[in-house]
Structure 1
Amino acid sequence: MGGRSKPMELILGKKFKLAVWELIIPTMREGEVAAFTCDVKHTALYPLVSQSLRNISAGKDPLEGQRHCCGIAQIHSHHSLGHCDLDKLQANPQPLVFTLELLEVLVPGSFRLDIWAMTDEEKLKVVPQIHEEGNALYKKGNTKEAAEKYHNAIACLKNLQMKERPGDEGWISLDQMITPLLLNYCQCQLIQGQYYEVLEHCSSLIFKYEDNVKAYFKRAKAHAAVWNEAEARADFAKVVEMDPSLGPSVAKELRAMEERIRAKEKEEKGRFKTLFSYDGNAPATATTG
């Protein structure tokens, strides 16, 4: 399902919602494929589990839509899970057959937990590690992989930030940790040509932190890339105003933008000239009504 599909990881002892899986998987051998028929009393929470797995596959928060009540309460609620098949199964639970393949067994401490499975303390501890991994990938020119690392680190912090009141000390502290990660992510997206995403993120940063020169610089480059000349010039001017030492870098970017604009105008003039050129040797035609 989705672009982020990968084998599911089940961490035993973490009180997985579908408790029966924690009972049946230890009976399997590595590499084995087995089918297990489970009674309704063991499958009632499967719709919620499936919803979480689909969210993970789509790159969303696995708990999206499940924040305000426990699993048992949700079984008896009338809220849609966002999928017709799961809504039907939730309204009318059925015995289910689970076909599972055990790909690999890892001992504790030999792997990194997925973000959704981490405690708050584990998330906060892993962020600097992921940040460094992203930096190392960026230095090697692997911007796509680096962006993924920065995205994961931001997701950790955003998850923690959701538990704080906006504007409180804890929320601000987390937001200040998110900012450099988001700027690094935007740098990767600039290189990959995702200019409108850069505009969106940098504008949100500038809205909160008006003195963030890096956000202005990246937004200026994104504006220049999508032919927003006036906006680019305004942002570049703001960069020089805030940090005069960046004047040479800004001048270089402005020259590059102006050269691109001249090349574009020349190309457009040539296209229109061809479109409206008149060939005197061409036979005349007339249409009568």
Structure 2
Amino acid sequence: MSPAMDDMLITKHTIHPGKEYIPLKQGTRVKFSFQTRKVDDGTLLDDSREMGQPMELVLGKKFKLEVWEVIVQKMALNEVAKFTVHKSLVTQYPFISKTLRDVSKKVEERRHCCEQPDEYEKERWQMNDEEKMNAQEDLREKGNRLYKEKKYKEAEECYRKAVGMIEQLMTKEKPHDVEWLALAAIKVPLLLNYAQCRLLDSDYYAVIEHCTEVLDLDKNNVKALYRRAKAHAGAWNPVDARNDFLKVAELDPALKAAVNKELLAIDAEQRKRNAEDKQRLQKLF
């Protein structure tokens, strides 16, 4: 993000000055409390105090939202400030907000009144790292089982929660270190499963976003390419769909027949759209 663009899109208002400003290096671990609100009416979206612990980031990770790192680096230790951010810098916030709201949920006891009082399901903010790893594995298995039973919405929720747990663990690691890469390898199949559920729900742009994230980690991931191609076709981005399908066939020749079928479907849809456009033009004269 260029300094000029930074000044144009981010406005800072200091509420309480902090201590001396010290520039932070990439890889620095920072903790901070925050609230996010809508600019138009001040509606509160998220509040870290409801999570029971401050937010923690490693600079350079970007937590899928680069602007948070930019904001943190503008502040002194113990400073309180308000930032107004252009909407173009927070396009991914709705997905992130879902993860944050999961953290803020109060503990719900999953028991009958006559059961043992310690039989309840821990919320994410109560778990240590080992418990989160175990929980995400349980969620993945449960999601797979629900998917096989064609309970796609329930499966999607399991995958989404599991992704959120892995992302929390990743914020504690330095990007591309051994530990971070190991967590990323766990995140990839979860994202692919989540994307498949969104594809079945025709949420094409969400599928494109999450498959692209997978491809940023694994550029030749055939499943990500195929699902992104299907999403591009559904959103009617025919050029992008063709490119992804052709890459799939190149990487996995066994899928050439399936790819050719998809390409023929794109050709047929293109002819249909061309004919409809021609008819509309004829009616104008």
Which residue is equivalent to 1:283? none
* SS of equivalent to 1:163: coil
CA distance in 1, matches of 2:189, 2:276: 39
Matches for 1:100-249 after TM superposition, within 5 Å: 107-249=116-258
Q: Which one-letter code corresponds to 2:177 in the other structure?
A: D
Shift of 1:155: 0.6
- Relative distance call for 1:244 and 1:108 in structure 2 (3 A) is farther
Q: Which moved more, 1:256-265 or 1:178-187?
A: 256-265
Which residue is equivalent to 2:80? 79
Paired positions, count: 197
- Conserved? CA contact 2:146–2:152, under 8 Å: yes
CA distance in 2, matches of 1:266, 1:65: 59
Shift of 1:115: 1.6
CA distance in 1, matches of 2:259, 2:52: 42
Unaligned runs of 5+ in 2: 1-32, 37-43, 57-77, 84-108
- Conserved? CA contact 1:51–1:81, under 8 Å: no
Q: TM-score, normalised by structure 2?
A: 0.61
The superposition leaves residues 11-57 of structure 1 with CA deviations (integer Å, 9 ceiling, x where unpaired) of xxxxxxxxxxxxxxxxxxxxxxxxxxxxxxxxxxxxx8x969xxxx9
Q: Which one-letter code corresponds to 1:214 in the other structure?
A: K
- Relative distance call for 1:64 and 1:249 in structure 2 (3 A) is farther
Q: Which one-letter code corresponds to 2:219 in the other structure?
A: E
CA RMSD of aligned residues (A): 3.2
Matches for 1:40-59 after TM superposition, within 5 Å: none
The superposition leaves residues 118-173 of structure 1 with CA deviations (integer Å, 9 ceiling, x where unpaired) of 11111111111101111122222222221111010011111111111111111111
- Relative distance call for 1:81 and 1:220 in structure 2 (3 A) is same
Q: Which has the larger Rg?
A: 1
Which residue is equivalent to 2:74? none
Q: Which one-letter code corresponds to 2:213 in the other structure?
A: S
Q: Which one-letter code corresponds to 1:138 in the other structure?
A: Y
Matches for 1:61-80 after TM superposition, within 5 Å: 63=51, 66-67=54-55, 79=80
Q: TM-score, normalised by structure 1?
A: 0.60
- Relative distance call for 1:127 and 1:148 in structure 2 (3 A) is same
Higher strand share: 2
CA distance in 1, matches of 2:142, 2:122: 16
The superposition leaves residues 49-100 of structure 1 with CA deviations (integer Å, 9 ceiling, x where unpaired) of x969xxxx968875599247xxxxxxxx552699xxxxxxxxxxxxxxxxxx
CA distance in 2, matches of 1:59, 1:148: 20
CA distance in 2, matches of 1:223, 1:112: 39
Q: Which one-letter code corresponds to 1:66 in the other structure?
A: P
CA distance in 1, matches of 2:201, 2:280: 29
* SS of equivalent to 2:80: coil
Q: Which one-letter code corresponds to 1:194 in the other structure?
A: D
CA distance in 2, matches of 1:217, 1:60: 38
Unaligned runs of 5+ in 1: 1-47, 69-76, 83-101, 278-289
* SS of equivalent to 1:129: helix
Shift of 1:203: 1.6
Identity between Structure 1 and Structure 2 (%) = 37
Matches for 1:26-41 after TM superposition, within 5 Å: none
